């Protein structure tokens, strides 16, 4: 059994650091390394399954899947890669991209912001400390404000635009898990309070209760690691879904979204995540993570055991392993021969 004291995401020096060549290795090598990452971390038992949403507490802590989608449409799926789970906070990245694509990134930047709060994802204090500003779209306050900016004449139209948009990223129709939605609606008192606080500062368009309802529905959409990898690969490929060929968003919006994820995608441990993984990533409390290597691929991972910030422990380990082994880290380089 691997524990954090022996070999975890804090220690991937056992993997030789590859430097980016601008392309991935051959399909067979990517497949082998994906299997290797899964095998290495499938017995890692650090972390706890989220229980503040009752239905999430029922997740099997042994579940573990990894998927890699390349920008040319090639895919690699290992372990529980087809296991469905609720997308949760990972939805924030893709709704942000959809809103930026439809309304322009300036209004989202002004209304929501781009800076990490350094506080937990559901912090009320962060709003008050920043004069009502949500600070970034990857925390709950910023995500709720972003959802409110989704174009539509009414709540139903805005929700359908979100569901359709996230489905276009995945390359298939995504559906809400009604049990997850009901479980979250029964326990999202803090999110309702956050929405009302944002409204009091003039930072929220529309009714706060209706906005939280739409936000909760988007978090309850069901995905697999295969879906996450295709969604992420769409961001890696200038907004074109590599499986369907559909232009979902613009290349400029991809750039803005990935820069946002680099800064804030892993909650208050985003700096640590970028330091270890070296590519933009977004996590969710159900245990999913998507990590994106621009121009190359995306990695989807799922395992319900979380670190104290809400990031999948096995997922972070596996992604750090693959980032190093596949030469994905955008900060890695070697000195030129003299």
The pair of three-digit structure tokens given for residue 192, joined into one six-digit string: 């309702």
pLDDT of the residue at 52: 81
In a domain, 20, yes or no: no
Per-residue confidence (pLDDT) for residue 35, from 0 to 100: 98
Whole-Å CA distances, 180 to 88, 133, 167, 187: 10, 29, 18, 11
Q: Are 105 and 210 in a shared domain?
A: yes
Catalytic residue positions? 89, 92, 215, 267, 285
96 is in an annotated binding site: no
Asked if residue 111 and residue 67 are part of one domain, the reply reads no
Q: Are residues 111 and 62 in the same domain?
A: no
**The CATH number of the domain where 53 resides is what?**
3.40.710.10
Pair 197, 148 in one domain: yes
250 is in an annotated binding site: no
Give 86's strand partners.
222
140 annotated as belonging to a binding site for a ligand? yes
End of a domain among 219, 242, 257?
A: 219
For the chain, how are helix, strand and coil distributed in percent, rounded to 5?
45, 10, 45
The C-alpha atoms of residue 117 and residue 22 are separated, in whole angstroms, by: 33
pLDDT, one tens digit for every residue, the chain (338 residues) = 344 433 444 456 566 667 666 789 999 999 999 999 999 999 999 999 998 888 899 999 999 999 999 999 999 999 999 999 999 999 999 999 999 999 887 777 666 655 555 444 444 555 544 444 455 677 888 889 899 999 999 999 999 999 999 999 999 999 999 999 999 999 888 889 888 888 888 888 789 999 999 999 999 999 999 999 999 999 999 999 999 999 999 999 999 999 989 988 887 778 888 888 999 999 999 999 999 999 999 999 999 999 988 899 999 999 999 999 999 998 888 777 64
Do residue 103 and residue 50 come from a single domain? Answer: no
Pull the structure tokens for residue 315.
Answer: 């997922």
Which among 192, 219, 246 is the end of a domain? 219
Domain that includes residue 145, residue range: 89-219
Q: Which pLDDT value is given to residue 279?
A: 95
pTM check: above 0.85: yes
101 is in an annotated binding site: no
User: Nearest Cα to 235, choosing from 318, 169, 143, 166?
Assistant: 169
pLDDT at 3: 40
pLDDT of residue 245: 98
Q: Following CA atoms 322, 328, 332, 335 in sequence, which dihedral angle do they give, to the nearest 10 degrees?
A: 110
Q: Measure the N-to-C terminal CA separation of the chain; round to a whole number of Å.
A: 44
User: Is 122 marked as a binding-site residue?
Assistant: no
């Amino acid at each position: 059994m691997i524990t954090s004291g022996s070999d975890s995401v804090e220690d991937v020096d056992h993997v030789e650091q590859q430097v980016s060549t601008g392309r991935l290795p051959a399909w067979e090598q990517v497949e082998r390394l994906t299997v290797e990452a899964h095998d290495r971390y499938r017995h890692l038992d650090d972390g706890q399954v989220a229980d503040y949403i009752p239905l999430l507490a029922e997740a099997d802590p042994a579940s573990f899947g990894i998927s890699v989608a390349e920008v040319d449409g090639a895919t690699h799926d290992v372990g529980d890669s087809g296991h469905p789970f609720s997308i949760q906070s990972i939805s924030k990245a893709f709704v942000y991209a959809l809103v930026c694509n439809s309304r322009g990134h300036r209004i989202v930047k002004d209304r929501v912001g781009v800076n990490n709060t350094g506080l937990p994802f559901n912090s009320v204090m962060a709003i008050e400390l920043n004069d009502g500003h949500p600070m970034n779209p990857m925390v709950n306050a910023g995500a709720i404000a972003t959802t409110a900016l989704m174009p539509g004449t009414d709540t139903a139209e805005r929700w359908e635009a979100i569901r359709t948009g996230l489905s276009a990223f995945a390359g298939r129709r995504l559906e809400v898990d009604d049990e997850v939605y009901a479980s979250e609606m029964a326990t999202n008192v803090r999110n309702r309070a956050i929405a009302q606080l944002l409204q009091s500062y003039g930072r929220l368009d529309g009714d706060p209760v209706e906005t939280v309802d739409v936000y909760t529905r988007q978090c309850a959409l069901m995905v697999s690691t295969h879906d996450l990898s295709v969604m992420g690969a769409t961001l890696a490929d200038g907004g074109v879904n590599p499986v369907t060929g559909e232009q979902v968003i613009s290349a400029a919006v991809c750039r803005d979204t990935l820069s946002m994820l680099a800064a804030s995608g892993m909650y208050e441990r985003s700096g640590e995540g970028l330091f270890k993984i070296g590519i933009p990533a977004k996590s969710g409390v159900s245990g999913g993570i998507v990590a994106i290597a621009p121009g190359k691929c995306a990695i989807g991972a799922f395992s319900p055991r979380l670190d104290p910030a809400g990031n999948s422990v096995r997922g972070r380990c596996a992604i750090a392993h693959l980032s190093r082994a596949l030469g994905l880290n955008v900060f890695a380089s070697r000195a030129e021969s003299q």
